[in-house]
A and B are shown apart, each in its own frame.
Chain A
Amino acid sequence: MPAPSSGLYKETYERDSCGFGLIASLDDAPSHWLVHTAISSLNRLTHRGAIAADGKTGDGCGLLLKRPESFLRAVAAEAGIYLRGRFAAGLVFLSRESGEAAAARATLAAALARQGLEVAGWRVLPVETEACGADALRSLPRIEQLFVNCPTAELDEAAFNRRLFMARRFAEKARERDPLFYVPSLSASIIVYKGMVMPQHLVQFYPDLADARLESSVAVFHQRFSTNTLPQWRLAHPYRYLAHNGEINTIQCNRNWATARGPLLRSALLPQLQEVLPLVSLSGSDSQSLDNMLEVLLMGGLDALHAMRLLMPPAWHGLDAIDPELRAFYEYYSVHMEPWDGPAGVVLTDGRYALCTLDRNGLRPARFCITANRCLTVASETGVWDYPPEEVVRQGKLGPGDMIALDLKTGVLLSSQDIDQLLKSRHPYKSWLKKGVRYLESDLVDPRLAAEPMDRATLSLYQKMFNVTQEERDDIIRVLAQDENEAVGSMGDDTPLPVLSHQVRSLYDYFRQQFAQVTNPPIDPLRESIVMSLQTQIGPECNIFEPAPEHARQVVLGSPILSQRKLRQILAIEEVTHEFIDLQYPPGEGLRAAIVRMCAQAESAVREGKLVLLLSDRYLVKGRIPAHALLVTAAVHQHLVRTGLRCKCNLLVETGTAREPHHFACLIGYGATAVYPYMAYQVLFEMMRGGRVKLDFAARLELGRSYRAGVRKGLFKIMSKMGISTISSYRSAQLFEIVGLADEVVRLCFTGTESRVQGADFADLEADALALARLAWNPREAIAQGGLLKYMHGGEYHMYNPDVIAALQAAVISGDPAHYREFAQLVNSRPPSTFRDLLALRTAARAIPLSEVEPAGAILARFDGAGMSLGALSPEAHEALAIAMNRLGARSNSGEGGEDPARYRTEKNSKIKQVASGRFGVTPEYLINAEVLQIKIAQGAKPGEGGQLPGHKVNDMIATLRFARPGVGLISPPPHHDIYSIEDLAQLIFDLKQVNPTALVSVRLVAEPGVGTVAAGVAKAYADLITISGYDGGTGASPLSSIKYAGTPWELGLAETHQTLRINDLRHRVRLQADGGLKTGLDVVKAAIIGAESFGFGSAPMVALGCKYLRICHLNNCTTGVATQHNVLRSKYFTGLPEMVINYFRFVAEEVREILASLGVRGLAEIIGRTEYLEARPGVTPKQRKLDLTPILSSAGLAADAPQFCAVASNAPFDKGELAERMVRDLLPAIEGKRGGEWSYALSNFNRSIGARLSGEIARRWGNYAMEDAPITVRCTGHAGQSFGVWNAGGLHLYLEGDANDYVGKGMAAGRIVLRHPRRAPFVARHTVIMGNTCLYGATGGELYAAGVAGERFAVRNSGAVAVIEGAGDHCCEYMTGGAVCVLGRTGVNFGAGFTGGFAYVLDLERNFVDRYNHELIDISRIHPEAMQSHVQHLEGLLERHVTATGSSWAEEIRGDLRTFLPKFWVVKPKAASIDSLIDSLRRAA
């Protein structure tokens, strides 16, 4: 079953996500009821898991129980096992082969014996295999229960557990090669039952769980959604202590440092610890590794509260208001442990505590309630079991960085504050730090930017040696310093991959940044920077188990980018001893040998006690060449990790190779502690001296600081792309894919990094360095001009060079096939620039006459336009594309910018409607006017980032369509705030299929290692279409570094996806599309052969319409009128016609037909996935010839007749939404007759997206608003599932008495949603959470009234809805561009980040809102009754409607005494808007 290694699929890519929960008795009173309730709750989370192709195998679920002692004694006795007073029990997975199983038992017994423990007996656990699906049965282990007696009463429970742990570790090490041997738990405190079954079958599978004698006081439960269909039994949660929902984005880094740190760990409690290294599993799931680390910390003597706070600290760097003692606690430990950052929600129990915690971003939902029977329930959703509303004593949610813990010993429920209070006072951390830590002054003004400025000749030498071009000086380095930002550009990267290039390219160019998509989200470095930090320490790491003042001896830097002064300061500190390692070597030595020598030098220096290794290429010597700093940094880091020395030293890199953020990210990602980029400073200094940097005097003095500020933003962006918040969690995380380096390089320097196609080896890299050195030492040679960013004669090849553009335009204007052939010839015979250029068609087959090939129409139907928004494109260009595609029978894509309703149902309608993270103009009517709904997860040009539309492109029309304000730039958040994991995507797909059941849902991904596995998950989330974009896709505006360094070629991504889907038996369920740089019929044919059945085109049809690839789309001055909103340019200079696009696509289709004929096949379908039609052809350059592209052509070991393309009409969800269908049946006559009326329904948490089916039916008949005058009222009770009232249309009024989960009113266009707590609820409504996270996300209108508190990110990207709530979580009103939000209570932090339109009222009783709002774009003011009469009236009106709708007693109270409350309200508005205009604009919108 595991994939053959020849292809691109790897099991290690597996990602998972899930639903989780915890039920605990406050009194630690065991009961079977609790176990039973936990199981039933698990069952109610089925929609958060996934089901395999066999329809029965779940991705795994399980229970972690505080040990049910009496039950275990009973079953042991029945099995004839004698138990002593203290015993342990555990579950053991064994090989099904009895010899192997016996050997494993013996190993374990022996290991236990060595710890002085005795096996009491083995109980063959009763299991019912009927409960398993076929896939699960295939991998089912033999499951036994092991009982171990504690030999002596002197061993307490903790010591006994430690011995059990050591015994298990030894046994695990001994049985490393046994794939099935696994011990889910072996403890005196807890026990685990888990398996690869669906929750509903768990009890059936383990009859123990149904046994009424099985009583426990704590149950942790978990339901898993794995992205592929080959999950393993051992990977079901819970692990030994915890169950986890989400991903650990930092896992690579954490694992690497766990390895590096292992040798430092010493605990008196675990004398043999060093014998059981590594402590953390380096493969398997991230959660498993986290559990491993947690276990080590617990065994080493920390308690669960301390251990979890250390592993997943809240964001403390950026919070000014934090208690200094508490800050000291976190800061002290930050030296010794980098955060294991999520997105993560963790529930755990070790028998002493039952706790739940969220990481700093709080991206996973966790709701809790305490019921009258003194029971605490925490779960991903509210309403997982049916407690009567009047019995809920208290309910709430966990926010970012929150922890809630039940101390089972004392029965005390601890809040985050209680826990922090406890932890910070254990040691005098603050005074330790005060004595030990040296904070280096940050040098704001540094006139000596380059204290030793190079003369021109020297600078020229260095620039040539390190390949600095004029282009880089001007367009990259200068911009970083001048704008304190990365340079922005547009269109895509159309240059060859570095391994294919004929030029000497930077080693950094071979490294592609990894990014989060679907299974975990990027985070938002722009709007949520409070969670981010670059703080870097220099000093030795110490043993975490022995807190001591001397362990706080550190030099603390605000950032890892050093100025010269700072480097000098560090080196001058007495106790900071350093070793200078010269990166240069004599060419005769050989690059590889030189690196090995430098590693040895580093090792002996650290052994001598040197604290800092300074790797430097600062002092060039003729006759020697510099080994690239990245190669040596990475190799030294790896070497020191292997020798157990890494944590004793710090790597400082003084290099001319590092100039832009990507370079720093590479160096740090491979282990550098800090970097001193002297070359960049020298260049800046020279440009300043020469007057090239135009700044006033003061700014010139701060040039270095400005440059570092620019780099810092870039680093934040790169980290956030992977969802990583702190540089310490990024350091050595190796979050790159290498494209084009040989294995020998990867093995020595970049061990463990993905590198799939070989390429340049040491000899090639040395040849590059020698070539540069030859130029560098030749004083007559000037520095190169460049050509990497823009076409330049003699510079890098560009696939959209002027010849190509001119030829294509000549062809589409003339309509002459001969001209098209010239164009196709230019493209198809270009120097190899993409991997497909090195793959040739096998022409052995017998050609057939062209007439026998399927008609062009059949091919055209497979062509889609890539998503290009109206906004990026002019309306003329956007409409011309739509008309052309519709006439061709193909599909155009609206892009992320809404669409004018006047275009619906005409030939200007875009058949594909995009749903991206900004949700601009996404309304029910928009969604029903589509054949395909595309969720843009990532964009090839800039995966991991949101779109941006510069303000000057937002004219009145664009603003109207996007529900935004003219002239204000629009940024889409990096993540979709409703997709933080794969089950969230499944939910969004469900939302879309509910509102428009006839549309296909497409998900757009970008190629990176593991994209195939993500795609498998997407297929299991019921998407119908998956697009794989290459790195070379276009963009209307993006930082240049994103265009250049993120994403990989689609050839790799498509092949991996095709192979993975086939191996997982999912290929027939989804359509697969290739997208990125497609230009000719040959491109189409090759993409089909690699596995695509559908093809996306972006740039080429734009060029057909007149675009000349000017790369100025972001400036709104496109002279061809294609990518501008400027009236004159559009009306006078746009010359594109639909016919040109039609000509282009017809030409391409005809070329496809000709190639098919030459291959002897009659239709495109015959070659999809048939890689035997392609063969690798030798490259032109030495590097090209070393590439190995066979993984792209692998059949993955499957027969050719296994499905190669989609065979179903649509991928129907498991959840049939029966209640929603019933509602449609009930209400359709009223909708059709526009009659109004009132209906009632009871809801449970699994009734998801309630309202969407109705809104779709309404929008289909009446549009967004036309039914508002005859509204339908639907009254619901209970716990609403996710997405209550999603895409709500005008005329639908939803009332809920109860509470709701995440995404209430998401994408609401009109109508009304009202939520109130049950009338009988005993808690205080206004302090109690009533709905989950991300409610009103992307709403464009309508009203929402909720008498309770909303979760995190309420009204993100709201652009028109009016809402009244009584409290909110963090990040409320983020990215808001319109509408009004009234919060009658406390809000979380970061209120109004990115808020550019609309306004809010916030009632601030505690008078601390000032600390809680984001000051960047908004200001706040008091309401003065006299001067602001309209606001007073407006607020009164809101209160009145809120009271009428919800019956809120709190609002009633405020209204009744408005004079008292009014001074406590703030009006929040964008700085740019005048206070008087606010209400007017709201009225106009309404």
Chain B
Amino acid sequence: MADKNLQFLDIPRSDPPKTAVEARVRDFREIYAPYDAATAAQQAGRCIACGNPFCEWKCPVHNYIPNWLKLIEEGNLFEAAELSHKTNSLPEVCGRICPQDRLCEGACTLNDGLGAVSIGAIEKYITDEALRRGWKPDMSNVQPAGRRVAIVGAGPAGLACADILVRNGVQPVVFDRYARIGGLLTFGIPPFKLEKQVMEKRREIMEGMGVEFRLSCDVGRDLPFGDLLGQYDAVFLGMGTYAPVKGGFAGEDLPGVYEALPYLISNINHELEFPGAAQALISLRGRRVVVLGGGDTAMDCNRTAVRQGAESVTCTYRRDEGNMPGSHRDYKNSREEGVEFLFNRQPIEIVGAERVEGVKLVETHLGAADARGRRLPQPVAGSEEILPADAVIIAFGFLPSPPSWLNEHHVRLHASGRVRVSAGAANAFQTTNPRVFAGGDMVRGSDLVVTAVFEGREAARGILNYLAVA
């Protein structure tokens, strides 16, 4: 290398190789190959170690990105894995599915035309490779604190909470209604983004650390919540948001119109070869599919439909390309895989006599910005058209779906249905019931995996504080 300091110029950013489109749409496997050690080191070496690490600043869990990049550059894999786990309980997951282009890589100083450091791919490399080589979190210094905490929900918030608790000697017991851990990580995110053995490996690691999982146990149904309160020193709720946002237009109930999540879950269950999954599978093979929405879930639906063998997949979004909320990477991959995009189109009706025949769309233009600075789409009069379709997937996002039993246990909600935390509470993420903590989507509304991880970790610190486990 001529000049280490100019490595970012001499060596361009290079993402890990992707499986060719023709091959990858035939199955549900992950499309990115892992880095080899040399490439990882070289790509990590592109980091200029800024005095103001904008990547770390922008990262919701504030990963020590420049520091572990340096460790990888220098070949200290296990130390990098240790460091990576200091701020993130699921780095191999975030490395795969974070919208890095909007977070760390988007903020990377080199992103001004020089090519951001491939932070996500390296993050994934670190943990995958370290685990492959036998690394495990160092638990040798952990002394049991003699406390037990129940965690409801084995999604990112719950797992992150368990991770921090167990590292501090508190025994976490994680309940989930599904048979596998991960929540949406397992059942929402398609395997081509996150293969299911990743979560299996994580389960193995966490169990090795001392986390106990009680799966296929739906708290509130299989087990009264009151029992948890009785048997544990504290409870953490990380149950996500599952109520789909409705379009509010005619035809939503027509056969052939699907909610995004049931669609994705049915497919994953099928891929996991769960009993009965084949019968429940929503297969869109040979269909003309229209996906409504422009977020990450919409992209997941698009690409799942492609892989199922849909005749065509068209995705409509009411704003323009630049205003899409999701990961740009997923959008690009969708396009590569043959998804058609129609921007500035708002659905106003799903048409069809017996079942779906098409979607009525109106063109929009972007009007004034709302309070959050996002410009609102305005319909253009007289621009209606009908897009023919055999199947329509609605992916408008999710709303809080708080279980009914919260109230009786004095866990109060915001008007929107989100769980109220930290309001006057002494400890972070404590609900109005002092022994109950909550975090993740059910607290902040539907958001990124990484923010759920962050909240789960912070809530764990609140719990430790509450339990006086210093």
- Is A1129 located at the chain interface by the 8 A CB criterion? yes
* Chain B residues, CB < 8 A from A778: 470
Contact B67–A1111 (Cβ < 8 Å):
no
Chain B residues bordering chain A, tally (CB within 8 A)? 40
Contact B51–A1119 (Cβ < 8 Å):
no
Chain A residues bordering chain B, tally (CB within 8 A)? 46
- Is A213 located at the chain interface by the 8 A CB criterion? no
Which residues, 68 to 122 on B, are CB-close (under 8 Å) to A?
70, 74-76, 79, 83, 86, 107, 109-110, 112-114
Contact A1120–B112 (Cβ < 8 Å):
yes
Using CB atoms, name the residue of chain B closest to A802: B57
Cα-based distance from A376 to B8 in the complex (angstroms):
69
Which residues, 725 to 768 on A, are CB-close (under 8 Å) to B?
none
Distance between B169 CB and nearest chain A CB, rounded to angstroms: 7
Name the segment of A506-514, A688-696, A1048-1056 touching the other chain: A688-696
Name the segment of A181-189, A785-793, A1238-1246, A1405-1413 touching the other chain: A785-793
* Chain A residues, CB < 8 A from B9: 1117, 1126, 1128-1129
Contact B62–A1110 (Cβ < 8 Å):
no
Cα-based distance from A970 to B298 in the complex (angstroms):
58
* Chain B residues, CB < 8 A from A491: 51
Using CB atoms, name the residue of chain A closest to B57: A802
Cα-based distance from A173 to B285 in the complex (angstroms):
108
Contact B52–A793 (Cβ < 8 Å):
no
Using CB atoms, name the residue of chain B closest to A775: B470
A805 and B141 in contact, given A692-B76, A1119-B109, A1119-B110 (Cβ under 8 angstroms): no
Most chain A beta-carbon contacts within 10 A, residue among B3, B51, B62, B86 = B51
- Is B444 located at the chain interface by the 8 A CB criterion? no
Contact B52–A800 (Cβ < 8 Å):
yes
Contact B168–A1110 (Cβ < 8 Å):
no
Distance between B463 CB and nearest chain A CB, rounded to angstroms: 14
Contact A780–B56 (Cβ < 8 Å):
no
Cα-based distance from A1280 to B9 in the complex (angstroms):
57
Contact B5–A1117 (Cβ < 8 Å):
yes
* Chain B residues, CB < 8 A from A490: 51
Cα-based distance from A1133 to B67 in the complex (angstroms):
25
Contact B114–A1119 (Cβ < 8 Å):
yes
- Is A1112 located at the chain interface by the 8 A CB criterion? yes
* Chain A residues, CB < 8 A from B107: 802
Using CB atoms, name the residue of chain B closest to A1135: B112
* Chain A residues, CB < 8 A from B141: 457, 460, 779-780
- Is A955 located at the chain interface by the 8 A CB criterion? no
Distance between A1300 CB and nearest chain B CB, rounded to angstroms: 47
Say whether chain A's binding surface is mostly helix, strand, loop, or mixed.
Answer: loop
* Chain A residues, CB < 8 A from B168: 780
Q: Chain B 106-150 against A: per-residue CB contact (8 Å), 1 yes, 0 no?
A: 010110111000000000000000000000000011110000000
* Chain B residues, CB < 8 A from A1109: 50-52
Set B6, B64, B112: member contacting A1133, Cβ < 8 A: B112
* Chain A residues, CB < 8 A from B75: 691
Which residues, 353 to 374 on B, are CB-close (under 8 Å) to A?
none
Most chain A beta-carbon contacts within 10 A, residue among B8, B58, B67, B143 = B67
- Is A1132 located at the chain interface by the 8 A CB criterion? yes
Contact B48–A780 (Cβ < 8 Å):
no
Contact B51–A1115 (Cβ < 8 Å):
no
Q: Chain A 440-453 against B: per-residue CB contact (8 Å), 1 yes, 0 no?
A: 00000000000000
* Chain B residues, CB < 8 A from A1275: none
Contact B64–A792 (Cβ < 8 Å):
yes
Set A692, A780, A1117: member contacting B74, Cβ < 8 A: A692
Contact B169–A794 (Cβ < 8 Å):
no
Distance between B386 CB and nearest chain A CB, rounded to angstroms: 42
* Chain A residues, CB < 8 A from B169: 780
- Is B49 located at the chain interface by the 8 A CB criterion? yes
Contact A1111–B114 (Cβ < 8 Å):
no
- Is A774 located at the chain interface by the 8 A CB criterion? yes
- Is A470 located at the chain interface by the 8 A CB criterion? yes
Cα-based distance from A1111 to B109 in the complex (angstroms):
12
- Is B54 located at the chain interface by the 8 A CB criterion? yes
Set A470, A692, A952, A1110: member contacting B109, Cβ < 8 A: A1110
Contact A1111–B50 (Cβ < 8 Å):
yes
Contact A1116–B5 (Cβ < 8 Å):
yes
A793 and B62 in contact, given A780-B169, A785-B86 (Cβ under 8 angstroms): yes
Set B51, B70, B74, B142: member contacting A1111, Cβ < 8 A: B51
Using CB atoms, name the residue of chain B closest to A952: B3
* Chain B residues, CB < 8 A from A802: 52-54, 57-58, 107
Contact A1110–B76 (Cβ < 8 Å):
no
- Is A1274 located at the chain interface by the 8 A CB criterion? no
Using CB atoms, name the residue of chain B closest to A457: B141
Using CB atoms, name the residue of chain A closest to B108: A1119
* Chain B residues, CB < 8 A from A1108: 50, 52, 54, 109
- Is A801 located at the chain interface by the 8 A CB criterion? yes
- Is B167 located at the chain interface by the 8 A CB criterion? yes
Contact A801–B143 (Cβ < 8 Å):
no
Using CB atoms, name the residue of chain A closest to B145: A780
* Chain B residues, CB < 8 A from A701: none
* Chain A residues, CB < 8 A from B64: 785, 792
Distance between B346 CB and nearest chain A CB, rounded to angstroms: 30
Set B49, B50, B57, B167: member contacting A793, Cβ < 8 A: B57
* Chain A residues, CB < 8 A from B86: 782, 785
* Chain A residues, CB < 8 A from B76: 690-692
Using CB atoms, name the residue of chain B closest to A490: B51
Using CB atoms, name the residue of chain A closest to B87: A793
* Chain B residues, CB < 8 A from A774: 470
Contact B48–A791 (Cβ < 8 Å):
no
Q: Chain A 788-821 against B: per-residue CB contact (8 Å), 1 yes, 0 no?
A: 0111111000101111010000000000000000
Using CB atoms, name the residue of chain B closest to A798: B52
Contact B79–A690 (Cβ < 8 Å):
yes
* Chain A residues, CB < 8 A from B48: 1110, 1112, 1115, 1117, 1119
Cα-based distance from A702 to B32 in the complex (angstroms):
45
Distance between A1025 CB and nearest chain B CB, rounded to angstroms: 31
Distance between A1355 CB and nearest chain B CB, rounded to angstroms: 34
Distance between A1034 CB and nearest chain B CB, rounded to angstroms: 11
* Chain B residues, CB < 8 A from A785: 64, 67, 86
Most chain A beta-carbon contacts within 10 A, residue among B3, B57, B79, B113 = B57
Cα-based distance from A1108 to B112 in the complex (angstroms):
12
Contact A791–B49 (Cβ < 8 Å):
no
Cα-based distance from A1112 to B47 in the complex (angstroms):
12
Which residues, 547 to 598 on A, are CB-close (under 8 Å) to B?
none
Contact B49–A1132 (Cβ < 8 Å):
no
Using CB atoms, name the residue of chain A closest to B61: A793
Which residues, 11 to 69 on B, are CB-close (under 8 Å) to A?
48-54, 56-58, 62, 64, 66-67
Cα-based distance from A1133 to B83 in the complex (angstroms):
32
Cα-based distance from A792 to B68 in the complex (angstroms):
13
Distance between B376 CB and nearest chain A CB, rounded to angstroms: 21
Contact B6–A1117 (Cβ < 8 Å):
yes
Q: Chain A 471-488 against B: per-residue CB contact (8 Å), 1 yes, 0 no?
A: 000100000000000000
* Chain B residues, CB < 8 A from A1112: 5, 48-51
Set A794, A1110, A1126: member contacting B50, Cβ < 8 A: A1110
* Chain B residues, CB < 8 A from A1132: 113
Provide a sorted-by-A list of 10 A–B residue pairs whose CB atoms are within 8 angstroms.
A789-B51, A790-B51, A791-B56, A794-B62, A801-B52, A952-B3, A1110-B109, A1126-B6, A1129-B9, A1132-B113
The 8 closest A-B pairs by CB, nearest first: A1111-B51, A793-B62, A779-B141, A1110-B50, A802-B57, A1117-B5, A1115-B5, A1109-B52
In the complex, given contacts A791-B51, A1108-B52, A1112-B51, what are 12 additional A-B residue pairs having Cβ atoms less than 8 angstroms apart?
A: A780-B142, A780-B143, A791-B56, A793-B56, A801-B57, A802-B53, A1109-B50, A1110-B109, A1117-B8, A1119-B48, A1126-B9, A1128-B9
